[in-house]
């Protein structure tokens, strides 16, 4: 580590002011502190969001659940309304990382970080969520822009994410056992405007799969998912899995998701 100052704002307005002045916001610290230890990130000032009560919690607004940015994974996993209304999201949160990561990591930190293998971005995209920030509301389709890159501007903070309640949805994660992130994860949601399928872990950024969506909108069956050929050409290849293996996993995980939703 190296010298830096730490601020503990108690309101979003104070945090926003600090961020506008160049402070790096600290949420659960599960990514940021590790990257500081490795000196991949060297902020001179941290603004710890953990004291800001208005950023924590779940509330229902019309046909959506609005979850505060500083809500920890474990609290999403255990929240009765999330479990009842979007069980796929609660289950996703329950299987992030390990106990420590779930006890400390936050929804806002995960989505702002946009790790290509993170779980939450697939739910945000498949459920057609809206990201609330200190200055605007951003549709999920416009938010995730590339590896570790989002539509957030410098100093702009996520305050909450609004998840429309789907007819049904599920996340199928194929675990990378060493990191516990997704080697490939597929979130399938049946919504009022049709089926949405978002894939994480397979490419440089979470993405929707148009072929799977149109097949499942025509016929919501396992056979329909299986009939879609997955093109491996833009997928990741590394020591853990080839692009062809990941393409096959996208198909298999989608079939499993559909089977689970139909069961
Ligand atoms: C061992 C391990 C295993 C993991 N496994 C998984 C997994 O299986 N699936 C998964 O999805 N994730 C996994 N994670 C990631 C983890 O769940 C956290 O979501 C992630 O580390 C970031 O969240 P955080 O709250 O810790 O954010 P931090 O590390 O505090 O911050 C991350 C980045 O986001 C920025 N930021 C934080 N909050 C906000 C905000 N409200 N507005 C704007 N910017 C913000 C910070 O400035 C920083 O740049 C794992 C992490 C570890 C260490």
Q: What is the pLDDT of residues 10-22, one digit of tens each?
A: 999 999 999 999 9
Handedness of CA 184, 117, 172, 161 (dihedral sign): negative
Rounded-to-integer distance, Cα 50 and Cα 28, Å? 8
Which residue's CA lies nearest to atom 23 of ligand 1? Answer: 109
Residue intervals of the chain classified under CATH 3.30.390.50 are: 168-262
Quote the pLDDT of residue 47.
Answer: 98
Average pLDDT of the chain is 96
What is the total residue count of the chain?
263
- What's the CA gap between 75 and 82, in Å, rounded? 10
Mutate to test the pocket of ligand 1, among 31, 89, 144, 183 (most ligand atoms within 8 A of CB): 31
Task: State pTM to two decimals.
Answer: 0.96
How many whole angstroms separate alpha carbon 158 and alpha carbon 26? 12
**Residues with a CB atom less than 6 Å from ligand 1:** 24-32, 69, 73, 96-97, 101, 105-106, 108-110, 112-113, 118-120, 152, 157-158, 179-181
Out of 105, 120, 199, give the residue to mutate to test ligand 1, the one with the largest number of ligand atoms within 8 Å of its CB.
105
- In ligand 1, the atom with minimum distance to the C-alpha of 55 is 41
Residues of the chain with pLDDT under 70: 1
**Nearest Cα residue to atom 48 of ligand 1:** 32
- Residue 4 is predicted with a pLDDT of 93
- Predicted confidence at residue 2, as pLDDT, reads 76
> Residue 1's pLDDT is what?
61
The residue whose CA has the least distance to atom 5 of ligand 1 is 97
CATH number of 168-262: 3.30.390.50
Predicted confidence (pLDDT) per residue in 211-253, tens digit: 999 999 999 999 999 999 999 999 999 999 999 999 999 999 9
Give 11's DSSP letter.
S
* Nearest alpha-carbon partner for 185 in 108, 261, 88: 88
Q: Tell me which fold the domain 1-52 belongs to.
A: 3.30.43
> According to CATH, where is 3.30.43.10 located in the chain?
1-52
- Residue 138 CA to residue 69 CA, distance in Å, equals 14
| Per-residue model confidence (pLDDT) at position 186 | 98
- If one residue of 12, 32, 100, 134 were mutated to test the ligand 1 pocket, choosing by the most ligand atoms within 8 A of its CB, it would be 32
């Amino acid at each position: 580590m190296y010298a830096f100052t730490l601020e503990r704002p108690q309101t979003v307005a104070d945090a926003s002011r600090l961020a506008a002045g160049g402070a790096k916001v600290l949420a659960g610290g599960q990514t940021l502190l590790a990257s500081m230890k490795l000196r991949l990130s060297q902020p001179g000032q941290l603004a710890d969001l953990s004291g800001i009560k208005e950023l924590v919690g779940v509330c229902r607004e019309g046909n959506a659940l609005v979850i505060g940015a500083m809500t920890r994974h474990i609290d999403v996993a255990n929240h009765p309304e999330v479990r009842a209304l979007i069980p796929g999201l609660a289950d996703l949160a329950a299987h992030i990382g390990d106990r420590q990561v779930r006890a400390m990591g936050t929804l806002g930190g995960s989505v702002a970080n946009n790790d290509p293998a993170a779980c939450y971005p697939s739910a945000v995209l498949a459920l057609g969520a809206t990201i609330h920030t200190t200055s605007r509301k951003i549709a999920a389709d416009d938010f995730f822009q590339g590896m570790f890159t989002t539509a957030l501007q410098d100093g702009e903070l996520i305050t909450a994410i609004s998840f429309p309640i789907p007819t049904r949805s599920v996340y199928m994660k194929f675990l990378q056992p060493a990191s516990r992130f997704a080697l490939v994860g597929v979130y399938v949601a049946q919504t009022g405007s049709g089926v949405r399928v978002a894939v994480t872990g397979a490419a440089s950024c979470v993405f929707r799969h148009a072929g799977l969506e149109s097949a499942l909108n025509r016929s919501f069956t396992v056979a329909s998912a299986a009939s879609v050929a997955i093109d491996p050409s833009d997928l990741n290849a590394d020591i853990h899995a080839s692009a062809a293996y990941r393409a096959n996993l996208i198909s298999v995980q989608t079939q499993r998701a559909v089977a689970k939703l139909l069961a």
